[in-house]
Amino acid sequence: MHDLSRPDGPKIVAVANQKGGVGKTTTTINLAAALVEHGLRVLVVDLDPQGNASTGLGIERSDRSQTSYELLVDDAAPEDVIHSTGFEGLSIIPATVDLSSADIELVSNEKRSFLLHDALRQTAMDAFGWDYILVDCPPSLNLLTVNAMVAAHSILVPLQSEFFALEGLSQLMLTVREVRQTANPKLRIEGIVLTMFDRRNNLSQQVEADARDNLGDLVFETKIPRNVRVSEAPSFALPVLSYDSNSQGAQAYRDLANELISKNNRTST
Ligand code: ADP
Ligand code: MG
């Protein structure tokens, strides 16, 4: 078997789309769980004040005194904000609603767009040996999402298979271009993944055809099907890969992880 670990430091992927409810958090949690199945070490950073990724990975609200807010705003040490999950190799920096005021609190901070970048690259992070860091973004193109894009090597965009799905993409791409011009010239689009895909639904088929016509290779071959097991898993604080390992949703996220890993092996050499 190939050694998939990353001696050059973690690959940082921002999971972003300013639309809510398109599958960002679901993709973050389950892609992380699928990467961990390969023996990789993965850190999830919850940058959404709603804290859904934190809840979905079993971090109780009462355990969230040190969070991504403290990491960004108070310079908290990594070891204080990183929480282990019930899964070997998978940790999370959780979020609470405190994070919603960060935008305003940081307005006069000159380094406000670089806070996550700097936090993830401090030497204290090296000891953890992450292979991947997945950043779950809020449903907005605000300062938090910009922080994720400035910190990241690439962005992964979940696209819900529904009408108007492609509409928001141009706005997102404008923000990517701006971040490239000002702060992170190397930011890549890792790929666009179709979520909540229903192959019996014409609309899903149409969105897929449009996405592949317009975006070509940027669209992952893997599609995440609409699958009730995927939506049930968070209420048990489990990735669907643990909740129902043989479900279609679990298998799709494994396929997505495989595609991501093989893409990265091709581009890193
Ligand atoms: P976002 O983080 O973009 O706001 P979520 O990941 O929270 O979106 O997903 C929105 C809702 O859709 C959640 O209730 C989630 O459980 C559900 N969902 C996401 N992906 C799937 C899927 N493949 N099948 C069924 N339900 C899904
Ligand atoms: Mg979310």
The reply to whether 4 falls in a domain is no
* Mean pLDDT computed over every residue of the chain: 94
CATH code, domain carrying 225: 3.40.50.300
- Reported for 139-143, long-range contacts at CB under 8 A and 24+ positions apart, including other chains, are 139/17, 139/18, 139/19, 139/20, 139/21, 139/24, 139/48, 140/18, 141/18, 141/171, 141/172, 141/175, 142/103, 143/102, 143/103, 143/106, 143/112, 143/113
* Ligand 1 pocket residue status of 160, Cβ below 6 Å: no
With respect to residue 269, please indicate whether it lies within any of the assigned structural domains: no
151 found inside a domain:
yes
Structure confidence at residue 1 (pLDDT): 52
Q: In terms of C-beta density within 10 A (0-12 exposed, 13-18 middle, 19 or more buried), how is residue 177 classed?
A: exposed
* 185 Cα–ligand 2 center, Å: 26
User: For residue 101, is it within any domain?
Assistant: yes
250 within ligand 1 shell (Cβ under 6 A): no
For residue 247, is pLDDT > 70? yes
Model-level ipTM above the cut of 0.85: yes
2: in domain: no
Kindly state whether residue 102 falls inside one of the protein's structural domains: yes
146 CB near ligand 1 (under 6 Å): no
Domain count within the chain: 1
User: For residue 180, what pLDDT is reported?
Assistant: 98
pLDDT tens profile 163-201: 778 888 999 999 999 999 999 999 999 999 999 999 999
139 lines ligand 1 (CB under 6 A): yes
pLDDT in tens, 95-106: 999 999 998 899
Residue ID of nearest Cα to ligand 1 atom 18: 231
Q: Which domain, by its residues, includes 107?
A: 11-263
Q: How far is the CA of 57 from the centre of ligand 1 (A)?
A: 14
For residue 3, is it within any domain?
A: no
Q: Are strands 90-93 and 219-225 parallel, antiparallel or unpaired?
A: unpaired
Distance in Å, CA 129 to ligand 2 centroid: 26
Region 205-212: mean pLDDT is 93
Is residue 72 domain-resident?
yes
Cβ–Cβ < 8 Å for 135, 157: no
